[in-house]
């Protein structure tokens, strides 16, 4: 009840004309930076930061978070239309979103993505509202072994049932891990696999690899086939959008599961990237149309989007309550909080309830504003694809390279994109799965770091991963998921024998 | 069955598996610089990279063996002459773009690349191609450098023109 | 670029007929603040505060862009600036990592690739324990560590960096042995301590203030020659100035402080360095800066280039001895 009353106070703060105008402005700018692969939410937020120095903190955070929502929606757009994910967390959306767009269902894929994302976000805010007092305490229970268990669970839910050759899956995943280890190792402080190249000290950016593997690799395949984006050039009408909205409730099981996975991962805090991969893996596993995944299955868009956004939303709470940012964007926002004179941490809820609840209320409103704006612009985005290939093709190439350059202002990364592009092309044609590589690259160093920290804590004993109820439960769940396909095979074989 | 001209999938499988195997070997070599054992406080820094590299090598060898075993089925064409031409037409200018971008800057490269592709591959008129190419480069300049303050590489030509 | 600048300058000077000494160097293009930490880190905070102070009070007409280059414990940013030799538009923010990092790893830059401009603050280090910890003061904490070697888990930010160096110095000075666990940031170490997953950390005031205010962690002592500045109560009836210095509390380590430093690539004109010093001097007078110092509980200083160079040299001598003892020196 206390929370509800606080929330109502929050709505009073957030619903002023000025704040709604800020939300609209923030969301629109966010969509712009999200759609341009070179820019992302972190750029947008750090750009707006100086503007907020003169604002009151509540208005400032409303502007920044609205931009964040806009950027997340914009990021899904490029994943679906061009196979170029703007953020790690929208990688999983490309798996089925891009094939859908290729089949001429760009509008449907976009609408599905936006609606699922909004549902996920709203689910997340409801969770935050209901659990705000308790979430911080739960997140405090997480230490290195628990983090490792969560990453392990993500891997376990995602792998184990691809149709590709096991050797190729192994190579792909291990290459991802290898790329993730390049650069400075947090735990030992040693520079690994840099072979004396100064440019490798910062590591191989995940974004550079993804832009090459997905963006450029896909373009080479398209060009080789002599295609001209024919499928994607289909027109999108407002009717398609409405039609998709009407059929949305069909996906309620996937939606609900993904929202729960997302919220849980946001709070724990495993993060939106892990959440979207895990949710995609689970959707595939429990689907009756497993074969359809990877070639344009709508549930394959719904699952990662809903999980990504509910996790992203829920992650705001531990950030404020504990002062640990879950993503680059959250880190920039936290910097902002300090400049506005607020200290993120448990006391924030007590010292500045107007700020906290104004923000939470603005998350409800901001997401509604965002989804309305973004849905009404779907036909506009899809129209990009009607530009002739001789123009849009090179523009996409340029945007890919600019995007990679902006990661670290390094021209070496341009060559990396080229190399990853060729690799992506070869992998795709030879049926190497690329998703395990990406997943390993994103979570590899985090998982390794958590593992090494756990080992220092336990002085080398593996028992630490089963040392308390929480970590044991997560590990058991992960092992169950890992061996699920094996168990399934065993059961069906036994049954056949019984017959 | 007569073999048509082109690169077979068989050859390509071997090339790619060879390349990944090589990367695996490099990773193993790099990991050997550090301890690869299991120390008092858990794995040493080279432990994971070492076994990751070994697994890459094993996976690559596995693919090579599987390919050799199925040699007959792998004679399909990976890339025929026409496809190779298309790939080259796409990748050639892209390579040029990267070279120009790292020497003359991203904006100059953007304009040149877009102009080149539109003019010679798209068959647009010189005037139109110039307008679109320069317009795109200028547009990117405003979006990245001016509005979002993400500086892109300008290169000597723009510096000479007084744009930093 | 240089030619054009000189040319414009000559034109201007001859037109006016005078050369004003203080106008010897002036920015003519956007200044880049190179931050050698990720977004949200301590180095990022000071750079963005200074950016805000400059822009809000219009201290210069030049535009300021902040770029984060925190890869390899900040080496990415230093290499970036070092390669822009003689470029006065790469104003680089760091800590003591500028001169200490090259000792622990081969990183592609030498400390002499950058020239010192200023150090504007000294960040303090404290020993923190969990609120339910049995150790009420530094003495009992050290005794417990001695009685049971390596049983106390000390968390910190990064490996072979300031935090681990301090833990090593404490060990050396007291003879107590600890287990050090490196996390990605001081913020993570703070949360791990609040959750009682580690026994202690050596965070800066700003990294632990949220948990301190909420009464989840307790400071034992501060590694400063004198107590911290007086101020309002922060947590319960405790103010920063109520925390004893570690020397008072019985740990024979007098000072361990981290300077927040600013650098320029080597080879920049003398006048450019002077221009930046003047700019920073103006920043120190702003409300934003004063609030920053107060909020982060740092000790304000304003070292000149030569003072910073001397500070760096002294610290290098002391720290390299630690590196040598621990075997961290890069061959």
Tens-place pLDDT, residues B18-42: 999 999 999 999 999 888 888 766 7
Residue B50: CB atoms within 10 A of its CB come to 22
User: B143 pLDDT exceeds 80?
Assistant: yes
The answer to whether the CB atoms of B98 and A185 lie below 8 A apart is: no
Nearest to C1 among B149, B151, B159 (CB): B159
Q: How far is C268 from chain B (nearest CA, A)?
A: 17
Tell if the CB–CB gap between B162 and C65 is shorter than 8 Å. Answer: no
Residue A235: predicted pLDDT: 59
CA distance A315 to A139: 10
A43-81 per-residue burial string, b: 16 or more CB within 10 A, e: under 16 = bbbbbbbbebbeeebbbbbbbbbbbbbbbbbbbbbbbbb
| Backbone φ, ψ for residue A99 (5° rounding) | -55, -35
Considering only CB atoms, C65 lies closest to which of B151, B159, B162, namely B151
Question: What are the boundaries of each domain within chain A?
Answer: 2-498
Looking at the partner chain, which of B149, B151, B162 has a beta carbon nearest the beta carbon of C4?
B162
Chain C residues 276-305 within an 8 A CB cutoff of chain A: 288, 291, 295
Res. A463: pLDDT tops 60: yes
Q: In terms of CA atoms, which chain B residue is nearest residue C64?
A: B149
CB contact under 8 A, A457 and C181: yes
- Segment of A33-37, A66-70, B48-52 carrying the highest mean pLDDT: B48-52
Q: Helix, strand, coil proportions of chain A in percent (round to 5)?
A: 80, 0, 20
- Domain boundaries defined on chain C: 25-123+258-326, 126-255
How far apart are alpha carbons A458 and A53 in whole angstroms? Answer: 45
Q: Are residues B74 and B116 in the same domain?
A: no
Tokens of A352: 């500045």
For residue range C129-164, what is the model confidence (pLDDT) as tens digits? 999 999 999 999 999 999 999 999 999 988 888 999
pLDDT value of position C188: 86
Question: If you average pLDDT over every residue of chain A, what do you get?
Answer: 84
Do A87 and A75 contact (CB within 8 A), yes or no?
A: yes
d(C-alpha C163, C-alpha A168), whole Å: 42
A380 has a pLDDT exceeding 90:
no
Q: How confident is the model at residue B147 (pLDDT cuts 50, 70, 90)?
A: confident
What pLDDT is stored for residue C19 in this prediction? 42
Structure-token match 């290939």, residue found = A389
Minimal-distance CA residue of chain B relative to C68 = B150
* Residue numbers of the domain that contains B14: 7-79
Better pLDDT: A201 or A490: A201
Domain total for chain B?
Answer: 2
Residues 6 or more apart from A293 whose CB is under 8 A from it? A95, A96, A283, A284, A287, A299, A300
Crossing angle of helices A57-82/A2-14, nearest 10°? 90
3-state helix, strand, coil in chain C (%, to 5): 45, 20, 35
First to last CA, chain B: 62
Do residues A316 and A45 lie in contact, with contact meaning Cβ atoms separated by under 8 Å?
no
Does the CA dihedral A423-A203-C184-C168 come out positive or negative? positive
With 70 as the cut, is the pLDDT of residue A104 above it?
yes
Picking from B21, B48, B79, the residue at the C-terminal end of a domain is B79
For residue B1, being part of any structural domain is answered with no
Note whether B53 and B25 are same-domain residues: yes
Q: B58 with B92, same domain?
A: no
The domain C25-123+258-326 having CATH identifier 3.40.190.150: the answer here is: yes
Contact residues on chain B for C63, CB-CB shorter than 8 A: 149
Q: CA-CA distances (angstroms) from residue C273 to C44, C87, C116, C279, C313? A: 21, 11, 9, 10, 20
CB-based contact (8 Å) between B164 and chain C?
A: yes
Interface contact flag, B56 A171, Cβ < 8 Å? yes
pLDDT of residue B112: 96
Q: Is B151 an interface residue toward C (CB < 8 Å)?
A: yes
Q: Are residues B13 and B70 in the same domain?
A: yes
Q: At what angle do helices A2-14 and A106-140 cross, to 10 degrees?
A: 130
Q: Which of A47, A193, A226 sits opposite B27 (nearest CB)?
A: A193
Predicted local distance difference test score (pLDDT) of residue C23: 56
Is C17 buried (19+), middle (13-18) or exposed (0-12) by CB count in 10 A?
A: exposed
Q: Among A83, A90, A89, A73, which Cα is nearest to A35's?
A: A73
Does residue B21 sit in the same domain as residue B51? Answer: yes
Q: What is the pLDDT of residue C13?
A: 45
Same domain? For B73 and B11 the reply is yes
User: Phi/psi at A147 (nearest 5 deg)?
Assistant: -60, -45
Q: Which residue did the predictor score with more confidence, A49 or B15?
A: B15
B144 touches chain A (CB under 8 A): yes
**B47-69 and B9-31 are packed helices; what angle lies between their axes, rounded to 10 degrees?**
160
Q: Which of residues 130-159 of C touch A (CB under 8 A)?
A: 153, 158-159
Higher pLDDT, A107 or C270: C270
- C126-255 CATH fold: D-Maltodextrin-Binding Protein; domain 2 (3.40.190)
Q: What percent of chain A lies above the pLDDT cut of 90?
A: 24
Top mean pLDDT of A71-80, A114-123, A338-347 is at: A114-123
What was the ipTM of the complex prediction? 0.93
In a domain, B99, yes or no: yes
Candidates C29, C51, C330: best to mutate against B (most CBs of B within 10 A) is C29
DSSP secondary structure, C212-241, as one string: HHTTSEEEEEE-SSSPPPP-SEEETTEEGG
Identify any residues that bridge with C92 across adjacent strands, giving them in sequence order. Answer: C34, C263
Residues whose CB falls within 8 Å of the CB of residue C148, separated by 6 or more in sequence, listed in order: none
- Chain B partners within 8 Å of A33 (Cβ): 148
Final residue belonging to a domain, choices B22, B56, B79: B79
Is residue B68 predicted with pLDDT exceeding 50?
yes
* Contact (Cβ atoms closer than 8 angstroms) between residue A78 and residue A71: no
Which residue of A25, A391, A444, A446 to mutate against B (max B Cβ within 10 Å)? A391
Q: Which residue has the higher pLDDT, A13 or C194?
A: C194
Domain end call among B79, B98, B114: B79
Same domain, B119 and B75: no
Q: Which of C40, C72, C214 sits opposite A184 (nearest CB)?
A: C72
Q: Do C39 and A46 touch (CB under 8 A)?
A: yes
Residue C82 and residue C115 in contact, taking contact as beta carbons nearer than 8 Å = no
**Tens digits of pLDDT across chain C (331 residues):** 444 444 454 444 444 444 444 458 999 888 999 999 877 778 988 998 999 899 889 999 888 988 888 888 889 999 999 999 999 999 999 999 999 999 988 888 999 999 999 999 999 999 999 999 999 999 999 999 999 999 999 999 888 889 999 999 999 999 999 999 999 888 889 989 999 999 999 999 988 888 898 899 999 999 999 999 888 888 888 999 999 999 999 999 989 999 999 999 999 999 999 999 999 999 999 998 998 998 889 999 999 999 999 999 999 999 999 999 998 888 6
């Amino acid at each position: 009840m206390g929370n509800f009353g606080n929330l109502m106070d929050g709505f009073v703060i957030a619903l002023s004309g000025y704040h709604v105008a800020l939300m609209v402005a923030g969301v629109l700018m966010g969509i712009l930076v999200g759609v341009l692969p070179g820019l992302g939410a972190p750029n947008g937020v750090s750009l707006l930061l100086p503007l907020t120095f003169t604002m009151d903190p509540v208005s400032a955070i409303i502007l920044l978070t609205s931009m964040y929502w806009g950027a997340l929606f914009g990021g899904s757009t490029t994943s679906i239309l061009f196979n170029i994910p703007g953020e790690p967390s929208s990688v999983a959306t490309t798996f089925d979103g891009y094939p859908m767009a290729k089949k001429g269902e760009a509008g449907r894929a976009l609408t599905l993505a936006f609606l699922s994302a909004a549902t996920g976000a709203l689910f997340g805010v409801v969770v935050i509202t209901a659990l705000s007092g308790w979430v911080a305490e739960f997140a405090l229970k997480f230490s290195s072994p628990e983090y490792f268990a969560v990453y392990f669970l993500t891997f376990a839910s995602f792998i184990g049932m691809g149709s590709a050759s096991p050797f190729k899956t192994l190579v792909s995943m291990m290459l991802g891990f290898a790329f993730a280890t390049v650069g400075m190792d947090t735990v030992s402080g040693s520079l690994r696999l840099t072979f004396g190249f100064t440019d490798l000290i910062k590591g191989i950016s995940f974004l550079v690899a993804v832009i090459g593997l997905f963006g450029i690799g896909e373009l080479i395949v398209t060009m080789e086939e002599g295609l001209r984006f024919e499928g994607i050039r289909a027109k999108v009408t407002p009717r398609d959008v409405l039609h998709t909205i009407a059929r949305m409730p069909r996906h309620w099981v996937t939606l609900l599961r993904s929202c729960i996975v997302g919220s849980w991962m946001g709070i724990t805090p495993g993060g939106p990237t892990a959440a979207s991969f895990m949710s995609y893996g689970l959707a595939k596993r429990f689907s009756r149309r497993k074969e359809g995944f990877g070639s344009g299955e709508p549930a394959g868009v719904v699952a990662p989007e809903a999980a990504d956004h509910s996790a992203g939303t829920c992650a705001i709470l531990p950030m404020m309550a504990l002062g640990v940012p879950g993503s680059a964007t959250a880190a920039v926002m936290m910097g902002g909080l300090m400049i506005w004179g607020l200290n993120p941490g448990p006391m924030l809820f007590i010292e500045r309830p107007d700020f906290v609840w104004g923000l939470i209320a603005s998350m409800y409103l901001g997401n509604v504003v965002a989804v309305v704006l973004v849905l009404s612009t779907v036909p506009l985005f899809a129209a990009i694809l009607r530009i002739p290939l001789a123009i849009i093709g090179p523009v996409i190439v340029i945007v890919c390279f600019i995007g990679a350059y902006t990661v670290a202002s390094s021209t070496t990364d341009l060559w990396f994109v080229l190399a990853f592009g060729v690799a992506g092309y070869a992998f795709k044609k030879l049926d190497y799965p690329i998703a395990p590589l990406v997943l390993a690259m994103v979570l590899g160093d985090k998982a390794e770091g958590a593992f090494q920290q756990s080992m220092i804590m336990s002085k080398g004993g593996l028992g630490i991963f089963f040392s308390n109820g929480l970590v044991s439960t997560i590990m058991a769940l992960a092992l169950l998921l890992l061996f699920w396909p094996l168990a399934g095979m065993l059961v069906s074989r036994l049954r056949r024998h019984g017959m | 069955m007569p073999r048509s001209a082109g690169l077979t999938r068989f050859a390509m499988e071997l090339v790619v598996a060879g390349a990944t195997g090589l990367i695996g070997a490099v990773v193993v070599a790099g990991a050997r610089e550090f301890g690869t054992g299991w120390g008092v406080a858990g794995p040493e820094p080279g432990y994971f990279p070492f076994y990751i590299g070994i697994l890459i090598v094993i996976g690559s060898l596995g693919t090579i063996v599987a390919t050799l075993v199925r040699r007959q089925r792998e004679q399909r064409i990976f890339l025929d002459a026409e496809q190779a031409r298309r790939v080259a037409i796409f990748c050639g200018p892209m390579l040029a773009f990267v070279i120009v971008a790292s020497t003359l800057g991203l904006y100059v490269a953007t304009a040149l690349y877009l102009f080149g592709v539109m003019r010679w591959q798209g068959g647009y008129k010189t005037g139109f191609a110039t307008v679109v190419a320069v317009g795109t480069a200028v547009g990117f300049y405003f979006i990245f450098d001016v509005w979002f303050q993400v500086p892109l590489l300008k290169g000597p030509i723009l510096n000479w023109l007084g744009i930093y | 670029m240089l030619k054009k600048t000189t040319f414009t300058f000559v034109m201007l000077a001859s037109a006016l007929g005078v050369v004003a000494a203080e106008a010897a160097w002036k920015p003519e293009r956007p200044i880049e603040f190179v931050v050698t930490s990720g977004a949200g880190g301590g180095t990022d905070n000071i750079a963005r505060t200074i950016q805000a102070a400059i822009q809000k009070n219009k201290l210069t007409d030049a535009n300021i862009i902040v770029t984060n280059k925190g890869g390899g414990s900040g080496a990415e940013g230093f290499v970036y600036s070092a390669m822009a030799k003689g470029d006065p538009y790469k104003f680089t923010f760091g800590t003591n990592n500028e001169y200490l990092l090259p000792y622990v790893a081969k990183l592609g830059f030498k400390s002499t690739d950058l020239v010192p401009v200023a150090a504007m603050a000294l960040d303090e280090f404290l020993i923190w324990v969990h609120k339910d910890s049995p150790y009420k003061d530094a003495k009992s904490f050290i005794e417990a560590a001695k009685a049971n070697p390596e049983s106390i888990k000390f968390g910190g930010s990064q490996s072979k960096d300031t935090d681990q160096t301090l833990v090593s110095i404490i060990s050396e000075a007291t003879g107590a042995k600890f287990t050090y666990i490196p996390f990605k940031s001081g913020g993570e170490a703070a949360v791990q301590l609040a959750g009682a997953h580690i026994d202690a950390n050596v965070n800066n005031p700003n990294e632990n203030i949220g948990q301190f205010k909420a009464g989840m962690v307790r400071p034992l002592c501060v590694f400063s020659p004198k107590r911290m500045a007086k101020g309002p109560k922060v947590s319960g009836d405790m103010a920063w100035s109520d925390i004893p210095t570690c020397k008072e509390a019985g740990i024979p380590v007098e000072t361990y402080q981290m300077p927040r430093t600013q650098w320029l690539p080597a080879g920049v004109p003398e006048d450019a360095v002077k221009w930046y010093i003047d700019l920073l001097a103006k920043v120190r007078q702003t409300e934003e800066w004063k609030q920053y110092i107060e909020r982060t509980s740092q000790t304000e200083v304003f070292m000149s280039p030569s003072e910073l160079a001397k500070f760096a040299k002294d610290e290098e001598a002391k720290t390299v001895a630690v590196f040598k003892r621990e075997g961290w020196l890069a061959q």
